[in-house]
Amino acid sequence: MGSEEQTRMEEMFDNLRADKYPLKEYTYIGKRIPRRIDGVVKAAGQAVYTMDVQLPGMLHMRFLTSPYPHAKIKNMDTGKAEKLPGVRTVLRYDDPEIPEFAPISGHTPTADEPPLPRIAHFQGEEVGAAVAADTETIAEQALTLIKTDWEERPFNLDTEAAPLQDTAIANLEMYPDSNHINEGLLDVLELGDVEKGFAEADKIFEFKSFRRLHTWVGPERPCGVIKWNGDCIEAWVKQQRPHIAKRVISKWFGGIPMNQIQVHCLSQGASFGGWSQTNWNMGGHYCAAVIARRTGRPVKWTFNRREDFYGGSMDEGAYFYKVGAKEDGTITAVWGDSILSNQIYPVFNPLKHLVENTRIPNIYCKHKVVMINKGPTVPTRCEQNSAAHAFTMIFDHVAGELGLDPTEVALKNDGADGHDMDWLNQQKAKRGFEVRDSLRECVEKGKAAIGWDEKWHPPGEKKLANGRMHGLGFTWTHEWDDSAGSSEMAIRIERNDGTATILGMGCDNGVDAESSYCQVAADELGMRLEDVHYNPQFDPGYFRMTPDSSTNMSINGFAVRHAARILKKKILEVATTPVGKSQRGEFPPAFPDAGPEELNIKDSVIFLKADPEKKMPLSELVGASFNSGPLVDPEALGVRTPFTVPLFAFGYHTQTGTYQPNQPRPRFCRQGHFMEVEVDTDTGQIIVTRVVNTNDVGKVINRASCEGQQYGGTYMGVGRGISEEVIYDPVTGVMLNGNLLDYKIATILDSGPIDTILIESGMGYGPYGVVGIGEDIATLIPTLLGPAVYNAIGVRINDFPITPDKILTALGKV
């Protein structure tokens, strides 16, 4: 990166952070608000999800799935299925309206796939045929009547063995020569000189770890509804990015104008990556659209529970490390080699976090992505699971090898881009932040909450009165800062009553983002929170950055804040401007002797700063103006409703798997997590007795939402750590536990008490100094189980999930 380009990017980010009109005090931001917009309907079971949609005359569509992990359809006979009473049509892979490739995901130009594939690359993949019938039961019965002649192909399921020359090729059509799919493509991360770093080390050690495949199953399975209204399409999508759905639908049938496509994105169950990220996530909609046009009826497609096990998280694979460190815990070099499977985004190097938020000067990692005959691996509550896994394993191994307290090792190596804390503090000051030691605050608060100084002990040395072994674990990293993308959000003041409506379609995935944006709008406008409302499920023509997961407050927060500030300025201008003329004459301004700068708004009431008793409710201003005519010249605004303020706020973020020296945006906010466990050495059972989360979120916007992310991320992470694994039969390639009986998902009761500690340093790049939290906890907690178990039993288990049989094997009992 050239110096001019670097300077330009630094100025852009500084301008994003600059707050020319800071709020002096917050009425709602950061407070525990008395309402949650979606709270009542969801708690009462009244919320409507895509799976709930029922339309008159609606057909039900189901897909044929492959019984083999790698096979091609040679011939297909659908005659019996077509004759079954209640079957309306059978759509086949060889139908003229089914192209060889179509824009199915919209993620990248290379993500196009067959809407009805002829070749299966994993067992259970939707291939070959789709049946639409009067009921789902009839559609399922028809699938059993389809006679398919398969050409079975060799398959491979072993990530570590996949790159070897004598291993079966998993996808001959896309990668005919090798299973290594990202060779030469953003697959090397390098900083400094690792050989020099190893020469400076007092101790060098090597180890290997594994992360087994886990998936994204949740309460709502993949589904969707398509309906034609003449030449227009109406779509109900289970999709984190409805704007992508609208764009992709437009491309399917000759470029249908976007204004002829109406998208509904209802409440979303289990939308935290996963299905929405796969290349084929719009495949069902494509086939449903073809059938709906032919039959003139709405078509609903669904997956069953087994089919929901379509793919998994993108951290499955083998990790190899060589680490050098000083006796005091200073890490001098890290070398890594990873082999991960089936990533559709093969750009997240496992040592990424080591570069981004440590002082380690010498880092090298070769990151291989290979194809195997399992489903695609995609971001599932985070795309950086592999980075968090590697980070935790490396730091805890250093502490263990040197006999040091892991929290002290963390503090000793904190920094960024290979630089120490002095350099990082200079960057904070340069950007106008208060210089605070975020990690130290996280560590001190977390240690106090879990009783670290009293409880921590050398590995394998504390047996409890109940006979179990006691263990403590710690991990840390930086907070996520923002997501690549842009946001379009608007705020409209409703005529007659003066309430505010936020406009901007997005994914309502349960994190209560909508209340958060209302808090921002209410504080910035000076309105009562109950006077601001937001329903993200309808399409107003604006789309916010979604999903609202780890970081999108950094994007959407700017958009809604800017809209509110511009809108407030317009309101105050209207209050000091003549309304206009009507048959009853000219109407004077509400505040005839004041300028806009002399007014303010609080509790939805406009008042004169110098004399607060001179005031007018916003509802009265708007209502009176509406009754007398337009508030301002409608031609000047281009709309008759003068308070509709479309505003677009863009965030910029470089996502690359290759390290860029002197990148202009170091992360300042940290997070730390502590886990206490008991291990039964007779049965191998792990009991998680306590988890403490400390997250520096920069600035809390919605306190309950932040705490909810910590709770949800903890139990989800514990499940990934102790039990979640998709198991395949190595002989047949068939998935053996594609159900919720054999695939063990944790509940909140499996985590023990959870402490949720929020720190507000103000050092985030988002509005008010905010930084993300949503994906953090579930990304770090799964691997934190490893340090906690090691501290309990004194034996390393680097194979996740850590199940009872692995405990007993490590202890030599089986």
Please give the average per-residue pLDDT across 257-264, as a whole number. Answer: 94
Last residue of a domain, one of 655, 681, 714: 655
3-class secondary structure per residue, 603-653: CCEEEECCEEEEEEEHHHHHHHHHHHCCCCCHHHHCCCCCCCEEEEEEECC
Last residue of a domain, one of 308, 329, 360: 308
Residue 364 and residue 242 in one domain: no
pLDDT at 713: 93
Residue 556 and residue 505 in one domain: yes
| Confidence class for position 559, pLDDT limits 50, 70, 90 | confident
Domain ranges, residue 597: 4-30+485-655
Which residues have a Cβ under 8 Å from the Cβ of 204 and sit 6 or more positions away? 198, 322, 323, 324
What CATH code is carried by the domain that includes residue 141? Answer: 3.90.1170.50
pLDDT at 442: 98
Residue 582 has which token pair? Answer: 């009507």
User: What is the DSSP annotation of 407-459?
Assistant: HHHHHHHB-BTTB-HHHHHHHHHHTT-----HHHHHHHHHHHHHTHHHH--ST
**For residue 656, pLDDT beyond 50:** no
Residue 455 located in a structural domain: yes
Residue 498 and residue 617 in one domain: yes
Please give the average per-residue pLDDT across 674-680, as a whole number. Answer: 98
**For residue 6, pLDDT beyond 80:** no
Top mean pLDDT of 28-32, 411-415, 659-663 is at 411-415
Nearest-angstrom CA–CA distance, 520 and 535: 15
pLDDT at 533: 95
Q: Percent of the chain scored above 70 by pLDDT?
A: 88
Last residue of a domain, one of 288, 308, 328: 308
| Confidence class for position 315, pLDDT limits 50, 70, 90 | very high
| Confidence class for position 18, pLDDT limits 50, 70, 90 | very low
Residues pairing with 378 in the sheet = 313
Nearest-angstrom CA–CA distance, 213 and 727: 8
| Confidence class for position 109, pLDDT limits 50, 70, 90 | very low
pLDDT at 145: 98
| Confidence class for position 648, pLDDT limits 50, 70, 90 | very low
Residue 291 and residue 415 in one domain: no
What CATH code is carried by the domain that includes residue 685? Answer: 3.30.365.10
pLDDT at 579: 61
Do 454 and 647 contact (CB within 8 A), yes or no?
Answer: no
Q: How far is CA 512 from CA 32, 35, 244, 768, 793, in A?
A: 13, 10, 22, 19, 40
Residue 376 located in a structural domain: yes
pLDDT one-digit tens code per residue, 265-276: 999 988 888 888
pLDDT one-digit tens code per residue, 502-557: 999 999 988 899 999 999 999 999 999 999 999 999 898 888 887 655 568 888 88
Residue 175 located in a structural domain: no
Do 357 and 670 contact (CB within 8 A), yes or no?
Answer: yes
Among the residue ranges 153-157, 426-430, 585-589, 676-680, the one predicted with the least confidence is 585-589
Calculated CA dihedral for residues 513, 515, 521, 523, nearest 10 degrees:
-120
Number of domains in the chain: 3
3-class secondary structure per residue, 641-665: CCCCEEEEEEECCCCCCCCCCCCCC
pLDDT at 651: 27
Nearest-angstrom CA–CA distance, 657 and 107: 17
Please give the average per-residue pLDDT across 437-453, as a whole number. Answer: 98
**For residue 773, pLDDT beyond 60:** yes
Please count the CA atoms within 13 angstroms of the CA of 274 that sit on its side-chain side: 25
Residue 745 has which token pair? Answer: 């998902």
Residue 395 located in a structural domain: yes
pLDDT at 774: 84
Please give the average per-residue pLDDT across 697-706, as a whole number. Answer: 94
**For residue 631, pLDDT beyond 80:** no
pLDDT at 633: 42
Residue 523 has which token pair? Answer: 């504080």
pLDDT one-digit tens code per residue, 323-347: 999 999 999 999 999 999 998 766 6
Residue 170 located in a structural domain: no
Residue 234 and residue 223 in one domain: yes
Residue 537 and residue 642 in one domain: yes
pLDDT one-digit tens code per residue, 199-234: 999 999 999 999 999 999 888 999 999 999 999 999
Residue 558 located in a structural domain: yes
**For residue 586, pLDDT beyond 80:** no
| Confidence class for position 584, pLDDT limits 50, 70, 90 | very low
Q: Percent of the chain scored above 90 by pLDDT?
A: 67
Burial code of 751-789, b = ≥16 C-beta within 10 A, e = fewer?
A: bbebbbbbbbbbbbbbbbbbbbbbbbbbbbbbbbbbbbb
pLDDT at 104: 67
Among the residue ranges 355-369, 377-391, 703-717, 774-788, the one predicted with the least confidence is 377-391
Among the residue ranges 41-45, 282-286, 583-587, 664-668, the one predicted with the least confidence is 583-587
Indicate the average pLDDT of the chain: 88
Residue 450 located in a structural domain: yes
Among the residue ranges 477-486, 574-583, 651-660, the one predicted with the least confidence is 651-660
Residue 143 and residue 274 in one domain: yes
Amino acid at residue number 540:
P
Among the residue ranges 62-76, 521-535, 553-567, the one predicted with the least confidence is 553-567
Burial code of 425-453, b = ≥16 C-beta within 10 A, e = fewer?
A: bebbeebebeebbbbbbbbbbbbebbebe
Residue 252 and residue 287 in one domain: yes
Strand bridging mode 605-608 / 611-617? antiparallel
pLDDT at 787: 98
Amino acid at residue number 47:
A
Do 123 and 734 contact (CB within 8 A), yes or no?
Answer: yes
**For residue 575, pLDDT beyond 60:** yes
pLDDT at 482: 57
Residue 400 and residue 282 in one domain: no
Residue 607 located in a structural domain: yes
pLDDT at 3: 54
pLDDT at 761: 96
Calculated CA dihedral for residues 274, 278, 281, 283, nearest 10 degrees:
-150
Please give the average per-residue pLDDT across 691-709, as a whole number. Answer: 95
pLDDT at 185: 64
Nearest-angstrom CA–CA distance, 431 and 11: 10
Residue 525 and residue 604 in one domain: yes
pLDDT at 485: 66
Residue 385 and residue 469 in one domain: yes
Residue 263 and residue 340 in one domain: no
pLDDT at 548: 53
| Confidence class for position 641, pLDDT limits 50, 70, 90 | very low
Strand bridging mode 580-582 / 585-587? antiparallel
